[in-house]
A and B are shown apart, each in its own frame.
Chain A
């Protein structure tokens, strides 16, 4: 038997990591398990049942909240991704740009401030301007705080892309628009996609801002779930949560696979 001194190995890390992942996933597993419990009291297992899924899917308020969330997230994602893309192009590729650092800070501003502060500040603004349309309020506020999340991956990708490629394109008779369409955009696409996914996720997930800005007709999913939780835990809520966890995991996997593909394409042997 050979003796090996792997000095980079620290004892006890493997069980610790195992416990860590258990800690990360057990709470989610609890929700999923409870959602199949026939008993109304979630903690008491009386048998397997899918009935809570039936009542969850029949819940019109839930479906409406989902629609609101998806609409707000879709618009906010589109707006924030476009704004982030144009800001990233200007900041990374723009020449003679003064105050580059400041311009970048402005885009990233929502990351630097506590969300609750921004949320109440926006609430005051909207009430002063008498903007009562809940959807409009949500879209504007979401677009603002989603922008830095869309910006960071796009910026990183653009920064990592050699200027040589755009120059080679110009050298090969492509005008600026052709170069953007055929070289720049395809090459930064994984960044744009990750940015959009992140923006979508952040918008879908938002509670603090939406809770303050939403009006009667524009309850988003997290706000609706909050009201359900407030009304007391219920097996139906567990079913809803399970469905949402499932959707999140699928979305996350797709996003990560696309990002991984982008990384693989870049890899040079």
Chain B
């Protein structure tokens, strides 16, 4: 039902060669991408990667130094925020403290010139939708973080915007609430069919909620793809490192052919693994996720030996740090049974991974 690649005619947002500098600091370097209609699109990156600047440009609070931004096919760079059919859920929620929840939700509708009766209906409907109906007459100061979050959502969704922008809306919530709100946001997006553009630095959130993710770093788009593409097929070291945990091994590419590369690992074995990007012969990086590395009797695929130099018992799984011929490798093992965590520190065990689960990246 959701299209991983918005290649169809329905593009909600087109960002074309957008650049922006603040003084000497270049926040965005000619960034381009499209966001499809009805998509849950996430901009993921560390702080300072330019994701918030991009979001503020979509809302109209910043304008690009060069490039253009199209909303449903129309250029919007020149349109001020109050005339863009785009609403924002602010990181701070930015609820008006002097207005009741009702008044907060009605505010946008009033400015759009809706009739009183229609506003009243819509406000009631939105408050119900976020389960805040009985609290309509309260003020923001009387709410908990999660409740504020809901009102901010109701207020931003009430005018039926073409695009909803969410600026790290879950960062102020505690862990349990955050998990619940993820599901609620996802449901809300499916039900309303509104394009969501979500900004976060939390890779777990991005993987969990998004149809597609754009990983941003250093003011550039590093990779755009579905959550599985981003996690399993990172195109470069930055993406592999920022999304999830991984082991980087310095390897030598012996031969490349048809998206695969034959490499020599530091511990002397030659294997053929999937490769992304232009991989020439010579030095490259091999990325293997810790959970793809199997230990002991579970070892399979390419097998070698390693010594356990550290272990961290986490309950559901255990993290191991291995020494493989002088190279450090991290592995994690699910504790599927009571006997799960039985490999002692200092033991030398068989270590293995399936060639297809590793990736060669340009060095």
**A and B associate in one complex:** yes
Q: Which residues of A contact B (CB under 8 A)?
A: 162, 164-165, 167-175, 178-179, 182-183, 186-187, 265-269
| Interface-centre pick from A179, A182, A186, A269 (highest chain B CB count, 10 A) | A182
Inter-chain contact B82/A168, CB cutoff 8 Å: no
Inter-chain contact A173/B141, CB cutoff 8 Å: no
- Chain B neighbourhood of A178, CB < 8 A: 111
Determine the residue in chain B with the shortest Cβ distance to A178: B111
B69-91 at interface with A (beta carbon < 8 Å): 80-83, 86-88, 90-91
Q: Write the nearest CB–CB distance from A97 to chain B, whole angstroms.
A: 16
Is B317 an interface residue, CB under 8 A from the partner? no
A-B contact pairs, 16 of them (CB 8 A): A164-B94, A167-B61, A168-B96, A170-B81, A171-B82, A171-B86, A171-B108, A172-B108, A173-B82, A173-B83, A175-B82, A175-B111, A265-B141, A266-B97, A266-B141, A269-B144
- Chain B neighbourhood of A164, CB < 8 A: 90-92, 94
Instruction: Tell me the complex Cα distance, A39–B39, Å.
Output: 89
Inter-chain contact A183/B96, CB cutoff 8 Å: yes
Inter-chain contact B97/A168, CB cutoff 8 Å: no
Q: What secondary structure prevails in chain A residues at the interface with B?
A: helix
- Pick the residue among B59, B86, B98 that contacts A265 (CB under 8 A): B98
Is B155 an interface residue, CB under 8 A from the partner? yes
Determine the residue in chain B with the shortest Cβ distance to A166: B94
Q: Which residues of B contact A (CB under 8 A)?
A: 59-61, 80-83, 86-88, 90-92, 94-98, 107-108, 111-112, 139-142, 144, 155-156, 159
Instruction: Tell me the complex Cα distance, A167–B165, Å.
Output: 13
Inter-chain contact B112/A162, CB cutoff 8 Å: no
Inter-chain contact A171/B59, CB cutoff 8 Å: yes
Inter-chain contact A268/B96, CB cutoff 8 Å: no
Inter-chain contact A173/B111, CB cutoff 8 Å: yes
Closest 5 A/B residue pairs (Cβ): A172-B108, A164-B94, A168-B94, A173-B111, A170-B81
Known A173-B111, A174-B107, A174-B111; contact A167-B98, beta-carbon cutoff 8 A: no
Instruction: Tell me the complex Cα distance, A180–B271, Å.
Output: 66
| Interface-centre pick from B91, B141, B156 (highest chain A CB count, 10 A) | B141
Q: Write the nearest CB–CB distance from A77 to chain B, whole angstroms.
A: 24
| Interface-centre pick from A169, A170, A179, A265 (highest chain B CB count, 10 A) | A170
Instruction: Tell me the complex Cα distance, A168–B82, Å.
Output: 9
- Chain B neighbourhood of A186, CB < 8 A: 98
Instruction: Tell me the complex Cα distance, A170–B155, Å.
Output: 13
Determine the residue in chain B with the shortest Cβ distance to A268: B141
Determine the residue in chain B with the shortest Cβ distance to A174: B111
Inter-chain contact B94/A162, CB cutoff 8 Å: yes
Determine the residue in chain B with the shortest Cβ distance to A262: B98
Instruction: Tell me the complex Cα distance, A182–B98, Å.
Output: 10
Determine the residue in chain A with the shortest Cβ distance to B88: A171
Q: Write the nearest CB–CB distance from B62 to chain A, whole angstroms.
A: 10
- Pick the residue among A179, A182, A269 that contacts B142 (CB under 8 A): A269
Inter-chain contact A171/B92, CB cutoff 8 Å: no
Known: A169-B82, A268-B140. 15 other contacts (CB 8 A): A162-B92, A164-B92, A165-B94, A167-B88, A167-B94, A168-B88, A168-B90, A171-B59, A172-B87, A172-B111, A172-B155, A173-B112, A186-B98, A266-B141, A268-B141
- Chain B neighbourhood of A170, CB < 8 A: 60-61, 80-82
- Pick the residue among A165, A171, A174, A175 that contacts B87 (CB under 8 A): A171
- Chain A neighbourhood of B94, CB < 8 A: 162, 164-165, 167-168
Determine the residue in chain A with the shortest Cβ distance to B90: A164
- Pick the residue among B81, B107, B141 that contacts A267 (CB under 8 A): B141
Instruction: Tell me the complex Cα distance, A183–B87, Å.
Output: 17
Q: Write the nearest CB–CB distance from B111 to chain A, whole angstroms.
A: 4
Inter-chain contact B111/A167, CB cutoff 8 Å: no
Q: Write the nearest CB–CB distance from A191 to chain B, whole angstroms.
A: 13
Inter-chain contact A269/B111, CB cutoff 8 Å: no
- Pick the residue among B80, B91, B140, B159 that contacts A172 (CB under 8 A): B159
Instruction: Tell me the complex Cα distance, A170–B90, Å.
Output: 12
Instruction: Tell me the complex Cα distance, A172–B80, Å.
Output: 11
Inter-chain contact B82/A174, CB cutoff 8 Å: yes
Instruction: Tell me the complex Cα distance, A253–B60, Å.
Output: 44
Determine the residue in chain B with the shortest Cβ distance to A173: B111
| Interface-centre pick from A171, A175, A179, A265 (highest chain B CB count, 10 A) | A171
Determine the residue in chain A with the shortest Cβ distance to B98: A186
Inter-chain contact A173/B159, CB cutoff 8 Å: yes
Instruction: Tell me the complex Cα distance, A110–B106, Å.
Output: 44
